[in-house]
């Protein structure tokens, strides 16, 4: 009887382990957040901010970044080199980058601000080399930009102290400039007016390669 009981326990553990493995393989593919479709309210804003923009590289860059609005959380040091949706997002992961919010703790995997701008560039162009052209890290991205006083959709927006970066969406019908960015204080990828703190703007180098990338 004891032997039969142990066999049943072992079989139950095996079934549980197999079920967990199956869920681990299938659940990420079934999660609704895997879509990169731009949310409806953001799409309505883009109908204004992108109205005069014709550069396909800039349009693709903006839409790639906006596809993560409300879907990806802020994660200190969060980067992704997956082109398209990264199925690691949303799953618990230890924050290994030092000196930031949540360092050493477990958080839902996501992106930080420069992680969003770099990922969106590579995803928009379907080209991993965009990571090097745009840079990774706010200061590196600023250094690789050509400063501009007239930001267009797809340009980068920076806080004056270079503590934060986002992607410019353009101006709405009232002339207000909008930015998509991954914000710690707002919990993840959001769209806000540039007046939340953005004051410096630059054109990233990927647009110098736009014609070749989209030919």
Is it the case that residue 185 has pLDDT exceeding 70? Answer: yes
- Distance, in Å, from the CA atom of 58 to the CA atom of 46, rounded to the nearest integer, reads 12
Q: Are residues 142 and 77 in the same domain?
A: yes
pLDDT of res. 117: 98
Q: Are residues 54 and 73 in the same domain?
A: yes
Q: CATH number of the domain at 176, please.
A: 3.90.1720.10
Q: Are residues 42 and 134 in the same domain?
A: yes
Q: Are residues 15 and 119 in the same domain?
A: no
pLDDT of res. 211: 42
Q: Are residues 23 and 95 in the same domain?
A: no
Which tokens belong to 17?
A: 């382990």
pTM confidence score: 0.82
Is it the case that residue 172 has pLDDT exceeding 90? Answer: yes
The count of structural domains within the chain is 2
Contact 202, 158 (CB under 8 A): yes
Q: Are residues 13 and 113 in the same domain?
A: no
Whole-number mean pLDDT of the chain?
Answer: 88
Q: Are residues 88 and 14 in the same domain?
A: no
Give the single-character DSSP code of 206. G
pLDDT of res. 71: 96
At residue 5, what are phi and psi to the nearest 5 degrees? -65, -40
pLDDT of res. 213: 46
Give the single-character DSSP code of 38. P
Contact 167, 174 (CB under 8 A): no
How deeply is 48 buried, as exposed, middle or buried, from its count of CB atoms within 10 A (0-12, 13-18, 19+)?
Answer: middle
Is it the case that residue 184 has pLDDT exceeding 70? Answer: yes
Is it the case that residue 131 has pLDDT exceeding 70? Answer: yes
**Using one digit for the tens of pLDDT, what is the confidence trace for 21-62?**
455 544 444 444 556 899 999 999 999 999 999 999 999 999
Q: Are residues 41 and 1 in the same domain?
A: no
pLDDT of res. 142: 98
Q: Are residues 62 and 96 in the same domain?
A: yes
Is it the case that residue 126 has pLDDT exceeding 90? Answer: yes
Domain coverage including residue 25:
1-30
Q: Average pLDDT, stretch 155-180?
A: 98
Q: Are residues 133 and 192 in the same domain?
A: yes
Helix, strand, or coil (residue 112): coil
pLDDT of res. 25: 46
Contact 139, 162 (CB under 8 A): yes
Q: Are residues 23 and 107 in the same domain?
A: no
Q: Are residues 14 and 117 in the same domain?
A: no
Q: Which of the residue ranges 23-27, 102-106, 199-203 would you say has the lowest mean pLDDT?
A: 23-27
Q: Which residue has the higher pLDDT, 145 or 16?
A: 145
Is it the case that residue 170 has pLDDT exceeding 50? Answer: yes
- Distance, in Å, from the CA atom of 98 to the CA atom of 64, rounded to the nearest integer, reads 28
Angle CA(153)–CA(159)–CA(164) in degrees, nearest 5? 85
């Amino acid at each position: 009887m004891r032997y039969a009981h142990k066999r049943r326990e072992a079989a139950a553990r095996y079934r549980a382990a197999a079920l967990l493995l199956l869920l681990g393989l299938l659940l990420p593919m079934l999660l609704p957040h895997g879509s990169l479709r731009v949310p409806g309210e953001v799409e309505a804003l883009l109908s204004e901010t992108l109205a005069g923009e014709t550069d396909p590289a800039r349009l693709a860059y903006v839409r790639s970044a906006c596809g993560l609005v409300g879907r990806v959380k802020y994660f200190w040091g969060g980067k992704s080199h997956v082109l398209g949706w990264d199925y690691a997002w949303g799953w618990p992961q230890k924050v290994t980058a030092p000196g930031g919010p949540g360092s050493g703790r477990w958080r839902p995997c996501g992106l930080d601000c420069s992680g969003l701008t770099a990922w969106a560039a590579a995803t928009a162009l379907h080209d991993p080399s965009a990571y090097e052209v745009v840079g990774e890290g706010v200061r590196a991205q600023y250094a690789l930009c050509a400063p501009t006083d007239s930001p267009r959709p797809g340009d980068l927006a920076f806080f004056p102290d270079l503590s934060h970066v986002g992607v410019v969406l353009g101006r709405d019908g009232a002339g207000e400039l909008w930015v998509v960015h991954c914000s710690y204080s707002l919990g993840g990828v959001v769209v806000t007016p540039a007046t939340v703190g953005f004051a410096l703007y630059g054109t990233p180098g990927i647009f110098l390669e736009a014609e070749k990338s989209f030919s």
